[in-house]
Amino acid sequence: MAGITLEQAQSKLDEYLAAESAVLSGQAYEIAGRSLRRADLDAIHAGIKIWNERVQTLSAAAEGRGRVIVGRPGG
């Protein structure tokens, strides 16, 4: 995920959540030139899953969690 900031990931997650709301209310939605309709709800859910995972990962890194500590046994 090099180059993706927490703010960018949160923005994308917000877009996908808005798309889901629009589709569920019977509307079409467009993200990055791609038109999404009720039939594309699975694609929206996949996007929500991807961006939610990225937000969680980047949030954990920003809070100092998720760092890997490497040590040697016995010393």
- pLDDT higher for 66 or 4? 4
pLDDT of residue 72: 57
pLDDT band at 1 (very low <50, low <70, confident <90, very high): very low
Q: Which of 2, 44, 51 is nearest to 19 (CA)?
A: 44
pLDDT of residue 15: 94
Over residues 40-69, the pLDDT tens digits come to 788 889 999 999 999 999 999 888 875 544
The sign of the dihedral angle between the CA atoms of 64, 66, 69, 70 is: negative
How would you label 39-53 residue by residue, b for 16+ Cβ within 10 Å and e otherwise?
Answer: ebeeebeebbeebbe
- pLDDT higher for 28 or 18? 18
